[in-house]
Amino acid sequence: MPVPEGPDGRRTPPSPPRPPRPPRAPVATGRRATGRTRQVRYSKACGAAWGRLRGGRIGDRLELRTSGGSSQSTRVTDRFDADGYVFTPMAAASGPEKLRVCLRPAGGGPAECFRTS
């Protein structure tokens, strides 16, 4: 089998096959009648959790808080965020338990929160 050329013109061997990665499933999901879906995700490998919001509205804010006191937040800033999803930066977490995510709707109103067990 011929060895392909890289961008610099040198011959480069093919990359070794990668083992399959397990899917990153949410730890918990909360959905409102408004269509907003909030998720808490956790990575054991990173020792961190993050929140994800799908179907948000411009101005919505999502906050994640861990039992250790770490927190992160993000905001829906434009129509691209609203049409897709936004996620918080990772926050240090010792496990997927006792993570709290809150949606603070644009324009005020009560926060929509839930906690993992």
13-29 confidence digits (pLDDT tens): 666 666 555 455 567 77
pLDDT of residue 12: 60
Contact 68, 92 (CB under 8 A): yes
pLDDT of residue 4: 53
H/E segment holding residue 81:
helix 79-83
Q: pLDDT at residue 34 above 90?
A: no
Q: Residue 106: what are its φ and ψ, rounded to 5°?
A: -60, 140
Our CA angle for 111, 66, 53, nearest 5°, is 45
Poorest-confidence range of 29-33, 59-63, 102-106? Answer: 29-33
Reply yes or no on whether the pLDDT at 87 is more than 90. Answer: yes
* SS3 label, residue 36: coil
Q: CA-to-CA distance for 109 and 97, rounded, in angstroms?
A: 27
Distance CA 13, CA 17 (A): 12
Q: At CA 54, angle to CA 39 and CA 82, rounded to 5?
A: 150
Mean pLDDT, range 35-50, rounded to an integer? 90
Instruction: Find the mean pLDDT for residues 64-80.
Output: 95
CB under 8 Å to 5, separation ≥6 — which residues? 11, 12
Q: What percent of the chain has pLDDT over 70?
A: 76
State the chain's mean pLDDT as an integer: 84
Token look-up 């392909």 returns 4
pLDDT value at 9 more than 70: no
68: Cα within 13 Å, side-chain hemisphere: 12
Using 50, 70 and 90 to split pLDDT, how confident is the model at 56? very high
